[in-house]
Amino acid sequence: MSQSAPIRAITVVGIGGIGGVVGARLALRPPGSGRHLTFIARGPHLAAIRAGGLRLIRPDGTAVTARPDLATDRLEESPAPDLAVLCVKSYDLDAVAVRLAAVLRPSAVVLPLLNGADIRERLRARLRLGVAPPACIYISARRREPGIVEHLGGAGTIHLGPDPEVPAWDGGELRAVLQQAGIPFQWHQDATVAIWIKYMFIAPLALVTAAHGADFGQVLSSPRLAAQARAVMEEVRKIAEARGVALPADIVESTLRTAGGFPPETRTSYQRDIEGRAPADEGDLYGGTILRLGAAHGVPTPVSAELSAAIARLRV
């Protein structure tokens, strides 16, 4: 494989909040790129995209309609992707990876933009072909209704770096695609730090808000709930340290300051799923990952275990 194989076919798998923003930006690429773009969606959302395109509402309230070359719910219908952007929920990752493995080119790039700390490793367990760089995205976005995605905040910067299993890959073609689409990104020689910094923010707050039905303001203003959030962050920090990830020394305090900068009424998507009794949730992405990695590295995680058990009782 060359250092950076040409990207002529792009598939965005999962057109929710994140996938909708990234997909729309790719669809609004400058004319003449010659790249084929496929959206993988399902249900009423897919029907709306097919009928009138994907409407993206930007943070400033302006809106634009983006149209892919193909919108489908079947990976097998799209051209074999040179770039697959994964924006699915964590509980769909394994099944999607198996389907991708059947259609990927050997030189394809699979860019995972899920919220977990070990997503690349989970992806690699199912996907042997291609390049799978460690990556994450910093953004607040949601699917507002079928055919409409709202970018709520954050620049939508993608953090990514080399695939340690494919050292010849330099990411040049992928970076060119992102730049042409106006998608901000940062290339790191070790992207795992950026991934764990994001996980440090999202996982503890997801657990505390979901367990107590509390928004950010209520968590941070309550001595008990704030202490729980801080304790989970310490558990995550120790796991990262055990895995050789060099997080900033003030990571817990800086994460709490970041949370304080959000509107007090902010609620996590995991919390909304638990409160709405969604048929599936991302508990394994948060409590499950912390408990699993903690056990693997000999790091005690009692507060994460307590919160996970409390959430499990809410699901009964």
Domains of the chain and CATH, by start:
9-189 (3.40.50.720), 193-314 (1.10.1040.10)
Residue-wise burial string across 151-167, b where 16 or more C-beta atoms lie within 10 A, e elsewhere: beeeebebbbbbbeebe
In this structure, what token pair is assigned to residue 224? 């008990």
Helix (H, G, I), strand (E, B) or coil at 10: strand
Q: What is the pLDDT of residue 198?
A: 95
Q: What is the pLDDT along the chain (316 residues), one digit of tens a residue?
A: 446 789 999 999 999 999 999 999 999 876 667 899 999 999 999 999 999 999 999 999 999 999 999 999 999 998 999 999 999 999 999 999 999 988 888 889 999 999 999 999 999 988 888 999 999 999 889 999 999 999 988 899 999 999 999 989 999 999 999 999 999 999 999 999 999 999 999 999 999 999 999 999 999 999 999 999 999 999 999 999 999 999 999 999 999 999 999 889 998 989 999 999 999 999 999 999 999 999 999 999 999 999 999 999 998 8
CB 101 within 8 A of CB 76: no
Q: What is the pLDDT of residue 316?
A: 83
Of 78, 79, 80, 99, whose CA–CA distance to 88 is shortest? Answer: 99
In this structure, what token pair is assigned to residue 106? 């050997």
CA distance 108 to 5: 8
- The two beta strands, 63-66 and 54-57, are antiparallel
Calculate ∠ Cα 239-245-248, nearest 5°.
100
Helical (H) or strand (E) element with 85? strand 83-86
**pLDDT tens digit string along 193-230?**
999 999 999 999 999 999 999 999 999 999 999 999 99
pTM score of the predicted model: 0.93
Q: What is the pLDDT of residue 1?
A: 41
Helical (H) or strand (E) element with 219? helix 216-221
CA distance 134 to 113: 9
Dihedral sign, Cα of residue 304, residue 305, residue 306, residue 307: positive
Q: What is the pLDDT of residue 263?
A: 87
Of 310, 292, 315, whose CA–CA distance to 228 is shortest? Answer: 310
Q: What is the pLDDT of residue 30?
A: 67
Q: What is the pLDDT of residue 3?
A: 62
DSSP 262-303: S-TT---HHHHHHHTT-SS--TIIIIIHHHHHHHHHT---HH
